């Protein structure tokens, strides 16, 4: 269901709303448009790992004392799948442009042929960078799994020694095992921090509340979206024509390995507030190349839903 939205302030441009979202769907009449589309897409390529200087409080504060191997495995698989899909889209577009290039060689439009050749080279560079990016996260996760197995082995041996009679040799072995256990834990936490840098960004766009009879003109709502320490609080009003007026349109979030999206919707009634519902969304589901529209049931019966668009950049 579509919702008519209005925003009290224009978009600040953080997400580049007008950028191309995919390399699919080109026709022969669209070849001349590929240049602008590819340049816009290159800005948001998954290859571009954001510098720590842009988000010092988020990136440097991600070091933990306790690893989460099962969560890391789930995020890694989702990340690799998303990057592979993006690589396949690049390869499909490269094959398409290469076919166009062969046809253009038969005519005399050399300037157009030169522009097309530049776009092909641009995609080829993206493909090489994506392949390197995928190999990098695979290398990190392989090292992580080695430390994970060593940590589990040290834990099992430590438990076995604790059940045996205490001797000088067993006490020395326990000390050494504890040291190895701590080293593996520290290494795993360090790798988790390195892997987080490669997760990209999530652009969340507000698409409005859907409530049918539950939404009445004049109702005021507040939506709070949290991802770890990141928060987005926005307020909206239901207008007389059933359209919705919200004070913000979109917000960028930096994903991490262990935090999921928490969404809370509050109804504002004068000086009182009523919590409509609180839900949690798994961030691993958002590592997809296509923009994803999600509709979240805020109430248990689904009488009020929140519609959002998530773009992985």
Per-residue pLDDT, 104:
66
Largest CA distance in the chain: 88
**Per-domain residue ranges of the chain:** 21-196, 202-312
Quote the mean pLDDT of the chain.
80
Per-residue pLDDT, 172:
87
pLDDT higher than threshold 60 for residue 41: no
pLDDT higher than threshold 80 for residue 212: no
CA dihedral 187, 189, 195, 199 (to 10 degrees): 180
Per-residue pLDDT, 23:
31
Are 277 and 301 in contact by the 8 Å Cβ rule? The answer is no
Confidence of residue 255 (pLDDT cuts 50, 70, 90): very high
Per-residue pLDDT, 1:
53
> Dihedrals φ, ψ of 199, to 5°?
-85, -15
pLDDT in tens, 123-156: 999 999 999 999 999 999 999 999 999 999 999 9
Whole-angstrom Cα distance, residue 130 to residue 85?
Answer: 11
Confidence of residue 270 (pLDDT cuts 50, 70, 90): confident
pLDDT higher than threshold 60 for residue 210: yes
> Dihedrals φ, ψ of 159, to 5°?
-65, -40
Per-residue pLDDT, 198:
93
User: What residue has token string 């522009």?
Assistant: 115
Per-residue pLDDT, 312:
94
- Tokens encoding 245: 């007026």
**Which residues have a Cβ under 8 Å from the Cβ of 21 and sit 6 or more positions away?**
41, 290, 291, 311
**Which residues have a Cβ under 8 Å from the Cβ of 151 and sit 6 or more positions away?**
67, 181, 184, 185, 188
pLDDT higher than threshold 90 for residue 26: no
Would you give the end-to-end CA distance of the chain in angstroms?
26
Per-residue pLDDT, 107:
58
pLDDT in tens, 60-96: 445 567 899 999 999 999 999 999 999 999 999 898 8
Per-residue pLDDT, 185:
94
Instruction: Give the predicted TM-score (pTM) of the model.
Output: 0.74
pLDDT in tens, 100-116: 777 666 555 565 677 78
Whole-angstrom Cα distance, residue 68 to residue 75?
Answer: 11
Say if domain 202-312 classifies as CATH 2.60.40.150: yes
Per-residue pLDDT, 102:
72
Per-residue pLDDT, 211:
83
Per-residue pLDDT, 45:
37
């Amino acid at each position: 269901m579509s919702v008519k939205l209005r925003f009290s302030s224009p978009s600040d441009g953080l997400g580049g709303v007008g950028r191309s979202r995919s390399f699919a769907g080109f026709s022969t009449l669209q070849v001349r448009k590929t240049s602008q589309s590819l340049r816009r897409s290159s800005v948001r390529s998954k290859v571009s790992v954001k510098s720590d200087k842009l988000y010092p409080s988020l990136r440097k504060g991600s070091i933990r004392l306790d690893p989460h191997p099962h969560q890391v495995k789930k995020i890694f698989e989702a990340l690799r799948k998303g990057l592979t899909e993006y690589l396949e889209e690049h390869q499909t577009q490269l094959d398409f442009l290469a076919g166009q290039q062969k046809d253009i060689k038969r005519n005399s439009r050399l300037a157009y042929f030169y522009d097309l050749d530049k776009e092909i080279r641009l995609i080829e560079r993206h493909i090489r960078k994506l392949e390197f990016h995928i190999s990098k996260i695979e290398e990190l996760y392989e090292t992580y799994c080695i430390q994970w197995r060593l940590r589990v082995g040290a834990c099992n041996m430590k438990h076995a020694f604790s059940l045996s009679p205490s001797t000088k040799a067993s006490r020395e072995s326990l000390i050494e095992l504890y040291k190895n256990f701590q080293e593996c834990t520290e290494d795993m936490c360090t790798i988790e921090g390195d892997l987080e840098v490669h997760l990209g960004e999530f652009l969340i766009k507000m698409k409005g509340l859907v409530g049918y009879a539950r939404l009445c003109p004049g109702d005021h709502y507040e939506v709070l979206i949290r991802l770890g320490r990141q928060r987005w609080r926005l307020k909206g009003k239901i207008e007389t024509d059933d359209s919705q007026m919200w004070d913000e349109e979109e917000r960028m979030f930096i994903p991490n390995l262990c935090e999921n999206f928490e969404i809370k919707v509050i109804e504002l009634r004068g000086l009182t507030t009523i919590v409509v519902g609180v839900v949690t969304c798994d961030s691993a589901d958002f590592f997809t190349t296509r923009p994803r529209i999600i509709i979240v049931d805020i109430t248990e019966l689904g009488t009020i839903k929140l519609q959002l668009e998530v773009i992985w950049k």
